[in-house]
Homo-oligomer: A and B are copies of this chain.
Amino acid sequence: MTTNQSESHVLSKSCQYALRAVVYIAAHSTTTHLVGAQEMADGLDIPKHFLSKILQQLTRNQVISSTKGPHGGFFLSKENERITIDRIVEIMDGPGLFKACVLGLPQCSSTKPCPLHFQAVEYRDGLYNKLKRLNIKELALVVHQENIKI
């Protein structure tokens, strides 16, 4: 068949890792035990140093919180828990993902649509609206209740 092997994806690997890490922190951090980068890397099977970069980025953007030193690690503040999922995607993959034309045309609008606009936009916007309404706390709660894998 001669395919390209390019294996495209909706979310970058960094973004996938970021989302899983946030859920992991929500699930495993307690007041007495903060989650370390090493622990997360092991638990999620993500390269530690790469994960660390992503965690730094999330911390800088105040999506997660951290403290250094012995028994240091990552956790979620109340403010963190109210961050919505679309924000994490925006930080990791940029603001364009849910705005850009599927065919890469410079503009995306219903008045000047590309050939696949109406096919793509219905679902694109649908997912975007869901992620905009879903915050970390809510996501973590469902994950816990349904015993969902990360």
Mark A residues whose CB is within 8 Å of B.
1-17, 19-20, 23, 57, 60-61, 85, 90-97, 100, 102-105, 112-117, 119-120, 122-124, 126-127, 130-131, 134, 139, 142-143, 146, 148-150
Given contacts A102-B16, A115-B19, A143-B115, contact A90 B3 (CB under 8 A): yes
Residues of B within 8 A of A20 (CB): 103, 115
- CA of A91 to CA of B2, assembled, Å: 7
Given contacts A1-B91, A91-B1, A94-B4, contact A116 B9 (CB under 8 A): no
Residues of B within 8 A of A112 (CB): 149
11 further A-B pairs in the complex, CB-CB below 8 A; given A7-B97, A17-B104, A122-B127: A2-B57, A4-B94, A6-B94, A8-B93, A13-B104, A16-B102, A114-B150, A115-B150, A116-B139, A122-B123, A123-B123
Given contacts A19-B115, A126-B122, contact A9 B94 (CB under 8 A): no
Q: Which of B9, B119, B126, B148 contacts A115 (CB 8 A)?
A: B148
- CA of A150 to CA of B26, assembled, Å: 45
Given contacts A61-B2, A123-B126, contact A116 B19 (CB under 8 A): yes
Given contacts A16-B104, A19-B103, A93-B4, contact A119 B114 (CB under 8 A): no
Query: Are B15 and A57 in contact, CB atoms less than 8 angstroms apart?
Result: no
Q: Which of B14, B16, B104, B134 contacts A9 (CB 8 A)?
A: B104
